[in-house]
Structure 1
Amino acid sequence: MNSLPATPVFSLLGTTALLFEAPGAFDLEAQQRIWALAKEAEAWPEIREAVPGMKNLMLTFVEPPQTLDALQERLMAAWQAAVPLARSGRVVELPVVYGGAGGPHMADVVAHTGLSVEQIVELHSAPLYPVYALGSHPGYCYLGGMDPRLATPRRKVPVMSIPGGAVSIGGAQTGVSASAGPSGWNTIGSTTMSFFDPAAEPPAALQPGDMIRFRVEAVLR
C-alpha cells in the first residue's frame, strides 16, 4: 500500500508553469490551505496566475525562471504557514433524476457497493458538497464530502460521450459534467443546470467555496 508523501511534490509543466502537490490527507481543511496558498502566491511578482486544483496548485510564470530553488523554498514556507481560508459561497440546489437513461451506470454502483438504488440515492443526496476546485473542462466542479460508502472505481473503459449535467461517481468523488464529453466516471443521474456560459461574467456558474446540494427529483428504473 502506497503511503502519502510527507512533503510537497513539485513538477514542472514545460517551461511555463510549476505544479505544487500538497502532502497529507485529502480533506476540506487541506483544500482551504490550498486556497490560502493560491491567494498569497498570485500576488508574487514572478507569478502570472495561481490556479488551485484538487489539493494542488498550478503556478504559471511571468518569465521562465533560471532556477526553481528559491520559488520552491518560498512555496514550502508559505504552505507550512498557511491558515485554512474559509470561503462563504452560495448554496446551489440541483434537482437530479437518478437512474434511468440519464443514470446508465447505477447498476454498476449497486454491484460494487452492495447498496440498493434507494440507499445510493439517499446517501448521495444527503450531504452539502463544497466545491473544491474547477477543472477537467470549463465549468466542471470537483466536489468534496461524498459518503465513502458510495466510492466506486472509475470505469476500466471510459464512455466516449456523456451529456452535460451528468451526475457521476469516480472513486471517492462525485461531480456533475458541465458539458458533453468523454468520461471514465460512473453516471448515476442527471440535472438540467447549465454550469458554463462564455458570455457570462464569470463564465463558470460555480466557484470554489460554493456548495451544492442534490435534490431528488425522481428515481427511475
Structure 2
Amino acid sequence: MKNLREFLERKYLAQPGDNYSMEQIADDILGQLDVNQENYFDVTGFAKDFYLSPSLTQDKKRSFYKELKTKDFFKRLNNRLYADHFSICSWTIYIIGKFSNNENAFFLETAYETNFSLTNPMLSYRCLNELSWLNSKKVSKYLAGLELENSNTSKLILLYYWESVNNSSQFNQLLADKELLGFISPNQLLLNEEAISDRLLGFENYVSGLYNSTGSNKLDKIEFGNIAKNYFGRYQ
C-alpha cells in the first residue's frame, strides 16, 4: 500500500483511541508488519509516533504499549536486529530505543554483544546511542571495552558515540589523540570540531551506502578500519 504511514496517521491519530480500541490498533499494526519491507518502516514508524503522540492520554499509552508487548511486537522487532539489511537493523535500533522503555534495553544489549560489536562498527555506535537513551547500565562497560581495545576503529566508534550524545568534553578529549586525528585527517592535522564532524558524517553516509549496496551487514573491525583509512586518505 502506498503511503501506508500517512494512511495509518489519518485513521488513528486524528482522534486517537476515540473510534478504535488500543487492541484494534495494535492488531492492525501487527497484521501489517511483515507484509513487505516497505511496510516495516511505515508501520513501526507509525507505532512509535502513535505511542509518543501528545494527544494520547497516559492511560491509553500504557494500554497501547501493553497490547504491543502482549502481541510480541518487540520480540518481532528484536528479530530484525539480526537481518542482513543494514537500513532495517539501523531503523530497528532507533525504534526500540525511542519507545523509551528500559526493559527493551535487553534486546539491544544482546544484539550489541553477540552481533554489532563483532561485525558492524557503525551499528555499534548507533546501538550504544539508544542504549544510553534507555539508561542501560551496561553502556559504561561497553565504552570501557572500546577504550581498552584502543584501535583506530574502536576510537572512531567512541568518537561517533560521544558526538551523538552531545558530550563535547569526551569528543574533544578523543580529538587530542594524535594517532586518531592523523587517521581521520592524514593530510591536514589541524582541523576544527566542525570539520571533523563533516568528515564523520561523510564517512557514515559512505559506509551506510556500502552496506546497503552489498546487501550485507557483515564487516569486521579490520575491514572497517581499512575502508575508513582509504576513505579519509582521499577525503577532499
TM-score by length of 2: 0.28
TM-score by length of 1: 0.29
As a proportion of its length, which structure holds more strand?
Answer: 1
Of structures 1 and 2, the one with the larger relative CO (CA 8 A, separation 6+) is: 1
Q: Looking at CA atoms only, which structure, 1 or 2, has the larger radius of gyration?
A: 2
